[in-house]
Structure 1
Amino acid sequence: MTSADFPAEGRNYQLVVIGAGPGGFDAAIDAASNGLKVALVEKDMLGGTCLNAGCIPTKLYLGATGPIHDLAAQAKVKVASGEISVDMKVLLTRKDRFIGATRKAMGQKLKTLGIDLYQGTAKVSGKGKVEVESPVEKAELEYENLIIAAGSHPTAFPNIAPDGEAVVDSTGFLALDKMPESLLVVGAGFIGLEMAQIASRMGAKVTIVDALDRIAVYEDPEVSKTLHSIFKRSKWNIRTGVKVASVKTVDGQAVLETEDGESITAGKALIAIGRRPNSADLGLENAEIATAGPGYINVNESLEAAPGIYAIGDINGITLLAHAASHQAGYVVRRILGEESGPYAPGPMPSILYGSPETMRVGDMPADLEGKGKVETSSFPLAANPIAQSYASTQGFVKVIWLDGKVKGVTAVGHHVASLTTTSAMIVQEGWTSEDIHKVIFPHPTLDEALLGALKAERKEV
């Protein structure tokens, strides 16, 4: 990095954005496309965690190893046999090249729109001012509006943290050039479950440990139960309700000690126990910005943390998903442009676990609607769907949640159910009733018909 990384002059901006992940990058692009003078500050790499060490590389790995699962499913019904071998080093190289090319394209987009990129650490230094520092240069930027989109980082606790050896976090897992023979995953949320599937497909013996009473605890309990059943069939050792005392490298192996004195050993351990906001050292106190919990920035109904200062994405703690950050970015930019005046209203938020099986969820689940009216559910088994049958992956279901006769939520678990997400979001957004089902033709044969089947199925009151 040289001094040429910082623009030489013109450091007064209509908008300064801190963080170039999905939210920050989209905010900068939207604002510049609408004629605002924009500066984007990023201390690490364009794309943030999602592109570089999260959503995108994980999906590349799941995509590359997906045929292993598909072949295994067909082998179970005795219609195919053989072996698929994935070259981990080649996959790692492909991942790095793809991400590098994407970052390059992002950088070119910034240049095309005239956005000034400052590669350094940002700190709010006073009202209307942000100080940016790189190893060789400092600059003070003046802004009319500020968007903080600094993201989050993996959580670690004393004695339960990556150590640079056999104990890794999600970033370390995605940098492995060889899959261990066994993988111990601490945390049964989406990150842990997706990475465990990658390891399992490549032959690793998987052990999942979580302090909570079920895996994927934020999903509908029936979804969690089905996931547990499917992963058990893949010979995973799933240990819920287990409190971890420590995870350390011992003689090159990862060793977990429970609070009950039990010891579990594996080739590698993945710590996937959540994420924490990157709000420390941002100088928030200089703008009288308040935080809550582990450092989430408090925002009002307009996503403002202080007059003219907005916080979007993981750092505000509302929804820790890349598409949530991007959606918030669009709203804030429109508000700055004077095109929005009302409170932020995201509508039904989609959530997806990728792999085999997949899960999808949009809108409210039965527990969210307790006491709000007549709550009913209707469901359809994937075993009755021809597409799920054709892939020999029939475990799972689609469930529709109704409140007073209107669709309030949809969830599903099983083969490729993520493909139902956008359609489900539209149905929830529109609040379909029984009459609306007949307004759309669902093609045959498709997995979509499982959603149609769930909409038409007999309802049961919760």
Structure 2
Amino acid sequence: MTHEQYDLVIIGAGPGGSRAALDAAAAGMRTALVEKADAGGTCLNWGCIPTKFLLGGTAAVPLLQIQKKYKAAGGDVHLSLAALHQRKDRFIKGTRQNLVKQLTQAGVNFITGAASFAGPRTVVVEKEDGSSLLEFENLILAAGSEPASFPGLIPDGNCVLHSSHILQLETPPQSLIIVGGGAIGLEMGDLFARFGTQITIVEALPHLVPAEDGDIADALTKALKREGWTVHTGRRVRSLVTDEEGALLTFEDGTAIRADKALMAAGRSPATAALHPEKAGIMTDGRGWISTDNFLQAAENIYAVGDVNGRTLLAHAAEHQARYVVSRLRGLTAAEYPAPVMPSCVYGHMEVMRTGATAKELTAQGISVSVSRAPLASNAIAQSCGATQGFVKAVWAAGNGTPELRGIAATGHGVSHLVGLATVMVQQRWRRENIHDIIYAHPTLDEALEAALSAPLENA
């Protein structure tokens, strides 16, 4: 067993771990980055990037179908899922290679192997050619998460799939059951619907996208039903199994539905069990998420960023946290980790965008709330695409004299493109008098944002 010493060891080469490694190496820290699988983590290899690559490659289909309804287009579009996979795989392979090259050129020791704690200041890495003991001054855990499973709902890779399995399908199924109405389920449903797959989506909570505004969820659900989706909300699943006819889902009330394939998209679990965090004095909750304090610290000289700490399971959240931790290690900040305005999007033909708080969240905090909104039907760009379903909604909190902007949400075609400007507005807590401090180009979807902010205030 080799024995090496580092200023900083990082476990996990996803967005958070890679960002931390590059920042630390640039600051002159002797840095090791350990990854058990592929550089880039879930986001690059099995999540954000491959799903968006497939959605992007088929994005024209729903727009052409709209034009067909208007009798402005005719004929059929023939998609090849296998060919899209080949193009996607080439892109991911090249990006992965470039990331490793960038890390190596920055001076990071990139180690492929499975890491686990041996003590409060040591990590053992099992590699193909043996094992190494890494001694560290500081460590960042960025091990990420993996698809969750539950008793009776365990993906088998046959007809019951998790999110990584379904990205390997080269032939679209005729029918697909999706368990979980969050981003993964909705994006995969949107993708396969473009290939003609009949989609049934099941969500145990009262509405799809459970973390989002109820009005947003209602509009999204109505749009999906109009497009032929079968939507079950507020229904719990007893079991989901493969049998001789495909995937069989049984609800708790005993009723059952079938499809060729099924996707388990009901959340993520922390990738922590194999790390043996207890050997380093790291506390976890009942599911294995790493417990951290207000400085993202999990134990003495050990920090946790990204999915693994369970705060916000988004790639850009992991990067933001990683930058903060390295700045803290460099002595550039002694402040607690801030609570940034966190943008999020669900992609597809009918998208969801949110940044900041919902009206329900603010009301629960005892804050007086008003809202304003504008339909996409009045926006020229939405009209030109024939994609007029949805709206933009602004959430205002009572301020000193005039309300201040605390959240913006939207659903509809292309609304993810509003997220950058919307995040700046919410981060700066714009007031009504700030709305026209900037010019909104015409014609753009940004004008729907302007219209929502300028609309009359309503009670939440």
Q: TM-score range by the shorter chain?
A: over 0.9
In 1, the alpha carbon distance for the partners of 2:440 and 2:157 equals: 51
In 2, the alpha carbon distance for the partners of 1:299 and 1:19 equals: 17
Give, as a single letter, the amino acid of the residue that structure 2 aligns with 1:152: S
Q: 1:403 aligns to what?
A: 397
User: Is the counterpart of residue 457 in structure 1 residue 455 in structure 2?
Assistant: yes
Where 1:12 maps in the other structure, the secondary structure is strand
Deviation readout 1:224-282 (Å, 9 max, x if unpaired): 00110010011111111222111111115111122222221111101101001011121
Alignment of 1:157-196 (within 5 A): 157-196=150-189
Q: 1:438 aligns to what?
A: 436
The alpha carbon displacement at 1:183 in A equals: 0.6
Q: 2:227 aligns to what?
A: 234
Report if aligned partners of 1:188, 1:216 keep a CA contact under 8 Å in 2. Answer: yes
In structure 2, the CA distance between the partners of 1:251 and 1:373, relative to structure 1 (3 Å rule), is closer
In 1, the alpha carbon distance for the partners of 2:303 and 2:10 equals: 9
Could you tell which deviates more after superposition, 73-82 or 105-114? 73-82
In 2, the alpha carbon distance for the partners of 1:208 and 1:429 equals: 34
Give, as a single letter, the amino acid of the residue that structure 2 aligns with 1:114: G
Where 2:275 maps in the other structure, the secondary structure is coil
Where 1:439 maps in the other structure, the secondary structure is coil
User: Is the counterpart of residue 381 in structure 1 residue 379 in structure 2?
Assistant: no
In 1, the alpha carbon distance for the partners of 2:23 and 2:415 equals: 31
Where 1:218 maps in the other structure, the secondary structure is coil
Give, as a single letter, the amino acid of the residue that structure 2 aligns with 1:434: R
Deviation readout 1:8-46 (Å, 9 max, x if unpaired): 77x211110000011111110111112111000000111
Q: Which runs of 4+ in 1 moved over 4 A?
A: none
Q: CA RMSD for the aligned pairs?
A: 1.2
User: Is the counterpart of residue 392 in structure 1 residue 386 in structure 2?
Assistant: yes
In 1, the alpha carbon distance for the partners of 2:153 and 2:230 equals: 20
Give, as a single letter, the amino acid of the residue that structure 2 aligns with 1:39: A
The alpha carbon displacement at 1:283 in A equals: 2.2
Deviation readout 1:33-82 (Å, 9 max, x if unpaired): 12111000000111111111111100011111111111011122222222
Q: 2:216 aligns to what?
A: 223
Report if aligned partners of 1:327, 1:346 keep a CA contact under 8 Å in 2. Answer: no
The alpha carbon displacement at 1:307 in A equals: 1.6
The alpha carbon displacement at 1:90 in A equals: 0.7
The alpha carbon displacement at 1:164 in A equals: 2.0
Q: 1:339 aligns to what?
A: 332
The alpha carbon displacement at 1:111 in A equals: 1.4
Question: Which ranges in structure 2 are unaligned for 5 or more consecutive residues?
Answer: none
User: Is the counterpart of residue 146 in structure 1 residue 139 in structure 2?
Assistant: yes
User: Is the counterpart of residue 357 in structure 1 residue 350 in structure 2?
Assistant: yes
Deviation readout 1:63-105 (Å, 9 max, x if unpaired): 1111111101112222222221111111111111111111110
Deviation readout 1:313-345 (Å, 9 max, x if unpaired): 001010001100010000001111111110011
Give, as a single letter, the amino acid of the residue that structure 2 aligns with 1:410: I
In 2, the alpha carbon distance for the partners of 1:250 and 1:458 equals: 55
TM-score (ref. length: structure 2): 0.97
The alpha carbon displacement at 1:150 in A equals: 0.4
Where 1:400 maps in the other structure, the secondary structure is strand
Report if aligned partners of 2:120, 2:281 keep a CA contact under 8 Å in 1. Answer: no
Give, as a single letter, the amino acid of the residue that structure 1 aligns with 2:274: D
Where 1:276 maps in the other structure, the secondary structure is strand
Where 1:305 maps in the other structure, the secondary structure is strand
In 2, the alpha carbon distance for the partners of 1:72 and 1:302 equals: 50
In 1, the alpha carbon distance for the partners of 2:276 and 2:178 equals: 35
Deviation readout 1:283-305 (Å, 9 max, x if unpaired): 21111111113111110111000
> Which of 111, 122, 134 is residue 118 of structure 1 equivalent to?
111
Deviation readout 1:333-376 (Å, 9 max, x if unpaired): 11111111100114210010000111110111111111533310
In 2, the alpha carbon distance for the partners of 1:120 and 1:373 equals: 49
Where 1:145 maps in the other structure, the secondary structure is strand
> Which of 282, 285, 295 is residue 302 of structure 1 equivalent to?
295
Give, as a single letter, the amino acid of the residue that structure 1 aligns with 2:205: L
Alignment of 1:186-265 (within 5 A): 186-265=179-258
Where 1:157 maps in the other structure, the secondary structure is coil
Q: 1:53 aligns to what?
A: 46
> Which of 408, 420, 423 is residue 422 of structure 1 equivalent to?
420
The alpha carbon displacement at 1:191 in A equals: 0.4
The alpha carbon displacement at 1:391 in A equals: 0.4
Could you tell which deviates more after superposition, 369-378 or 24-33? 369-378
Give, as a single letter, the amino acid of the residue that structure 2 aligns with 1:317: G
In 1, the alpha carbon distance for the partners of 2:367 and 2:166 equals: 45
In 1, the alpha carbon distance for the partners of 2:431 and 2:233 equals: 39
The alpha carbon displacement at 1:411 in A equals: 0.3
In structure 2, the CA distance between the partners of 1:176 and 1:323, relative to structure 1 (3 Å rule), is same
The alpha carbon displacement at 1:190 in A equals: 0.8
Where 2:253 maps in the other structure, the secondary structure is coil
Report if aligned partners of 1:166, 1:252 keep a CA contact under 8 Å in 2. Answer: no
In 2, the alpha carbon distance for the partners of 1:373 and 1:274 equals: 30
In structure 2, the CA distance between the partners of 1:83 and 1:346, relative to structure 1 (3 Å rule), is farther
Give, as a single letter, the amino acid of the residue that structure 1 aligns with 2:368: K
Report if aligned partners of 1:179, 1:204 keep a CA contact under 8 Å in 2. Answer: yes
Deviation readout 1:134-177 (Å, 9 max, x if unpaired): 24310001111100000001111122111121111000000001
Alignment of 1:47-126 (within 5 A): 47-126=40-119
Report if aligned partners of 1:213, 1:241 keep a CA contact under 8 Å in 2. Answer: yes
In 1, the alpha carbon distance for the partners of 2:14 and 2:393 equals: 33
Q: 1:3 aligns to what?
A: none
Where 2:433 maps in the other structure, the secondary structure is helix
